[in-house]
Amino acid sequence: MRTIDTLGPLRSRTVIVRCDLNVPLSEGEITDDGRIRASLGTIAELREAGARIVLISHLGRPKGEPDDRYSLRPVAVRMAELLGAPVEFVGETVGSEAEAAVAALADGDVLLLENLRFNPGETSADDAERRAFAERIAALGDAFVSDGFGVVHRRQASVTDLAELLPSAGGRLVADELAVLRRLTDAPERPFSVVLGGSKVSDKLGVISHLIERVDTLVIGGGMLFTFLAAQGHDVASSLLESDQIDTVRDALQRAKERGVRIVLPTDIVVAERFAADAEHETVAADAIAASRFGASGIGLDIGPESARRFAEVIGASATVFWNGPMGVFEMEAFAAGTRTVARALTETDGFTVVGGGDSAAAVRALGFSDDQFGHISTGGGASLEFLEGKSLPGLEVLA
């Protein structure tokens, strides 16, 4: 991958940086600034080089038109605080206002443009529309740095097309993420365990299939566990279930058995009366969910304490651990214990630990853990999973 030093001297040159500043917002307030912090290394490096820096990013999923709920303005405010330097903001990505703001930049200045996805060209499946939008962005700069690892698995205007239109390179964050993922895939120190959670097993089947050939242990939690339990013949009552994936899960279980890969499933489940923070709940055996006092309406919302201890034991005995996806509905305190126990186990093991972005990264911070307690916290959940699945990532291919 081309790196920033391949771009030559950057003083007084305008460098467009594709960041991933897709932070969670609640009533306009940033609830997790991890992705902003992760972007600072590349920005600082470019400032030191005397570049004039234009940051671009998406936030949320606006439908190709301006939507105040997804404005990047709060990000500019927080970034200025973290950077210790002004970060100008313009309420458009392309247009006369953006052009004037870019022209006014001095060496070392930082400008953040408005949400890329306010323009339909950013995510368009039409090559011509996407390229036309990329060309308007490219006209603002002299070089391009791709530093949004969370989007390198997407073929989008600001990810692939822009890299083809300007002298381009990968930023510090992308290089770091790539190094960690190669450490996981090329020659991981063993035992190598992968802990997978999250809601849908269909989102993880590709990576499960690929990892069965490479890991020693797969630990399964989160909403996806109920499809595994159903594949073993258990009644999961009203818990999240993808019935169309049961046969595929059975095949994965059989392949793991044939290859000697241990799959660790929960032995107890926290079952609730309904999906609510204040719902009545009880812990039952994993094969007795439908026999809980809530009967057929019971819904599993977390792994139980016995399962959490077993998962922690696996993590503690591993030399390498990759974790993606919470164990339960961690946003509700009554159903956060499983995720908290897994996170704590990762901080206490002597092995190399990687938190695979997305909800997992949000969970560890929301539960009071700091980034430096883990070997690495990824900024790209989907991109990390696709890399581990063995897929090529177009946003990296274009930087080769």
Q: Which SS3 state, helix, strand or coil, does residue 126 take?
A: coil
> Is 193 a known ligand-binding residue?
no
Residue whose tokens read 């909403």: 223
> Is 154 a known ligand-binding residue?
yes
- Going from the C-alpha of 194 to that of each of 210, 257, 282, 285, 354, the distances in angstroms are 12, 16, 28, 23, 10
Q: What pLDDT does residue 357 have? A: 72
> Is 381 a known ligand-binding residue?
no
> Is 204 a known ligand-binding residue?
yes
> Is 300 a known ligand-binding residue?
yes
Q: Which residues of 155-164 are buried (b: 16+ CB within 10 A; e: fewer)?
A: bbbbbbbbbe
Question: What is the residue type of 14?
Answer: T
Q: Where are the alpha helices (DSSP H) in the chain?
A: 34-48, 73-83, 96-103, 127-138, 162-165, 172-185, 205-211, 225-231, 246-259, 305-316, 337-348, 358-366, 381-388, 394-397
Q: What pLDDT does residue 28 have? A: 87
Catalytic residue numbers, as ranges: 35, 200, 358, 382
The C-alpha atoms of residue 274 and residue 99 are separated, in whole angstroms, by 52
Contact partners, residue 21, CB within 8 Å, separation at least 6: 35, 36, 39, 55, 57, 58, 59, 72, 75, 79, 112
Cβ-contact 160, 395 below 8 angstroms: yes
Taking the chain (400 residues) in runs of 10, the rounded mean pLDDT of each run is 96 98 92 93 98 98 94 98 97 97 98 98 97 98 97 96 98 95 92 94 89 94 96 97 96 95 97 97 98 97 98 98 95 96 96 87 90 91 88 95
Q: What pLDDT does residue 356 have? A: 87
> Is 357 a known ligand-binding residue?
yes
Contact partners, residue 283, CB within 8 Å, separation at least 6: 268, 269, 270, 271, 304, 305
Q: How many helices (H) and strands (E) does the chain have?
A: 14, 17
Cα angle: 195, vertex 200, 203; to 5 degrees: 80
Beta strand segments in 7-125, E: 14-18, 25-26, 29-30, 52-56, 88-90, 110-113
> Is 60 a known ligand-binding residue?
yes
The C-alpha atoms of residue 168 and residue 304 are separated, in whole angstroms, by 49
> Is 340 a known ligand-binding residue?
no
> Is 21 a known ligand-binding residue?
yes
> Is 115 a known ligand-binding residue?
no
Question: What is the residue type of 258?
Answer: E
The C-alpha atoms of residue 30 and residue 362 are separated, in whole angstroms, by 12
Q: What pLDDT does residue 203 have? A: 87
The C-alpha atoms of residue 206 and residue 148 are separated, in whole angstroms, by 23
The C-alpha atoms of residue 349 and residue 321 are separated, in whole angstroms, by 9
> Which pLDDT tens digit goes with each residue over 320-369?
999 999 999 999 999 999 999 999 999 999 999 999 877 788 889 889 99
The C-alpha atoms of residue 317 and residue 351 are separated, in whole angstroms, by 8
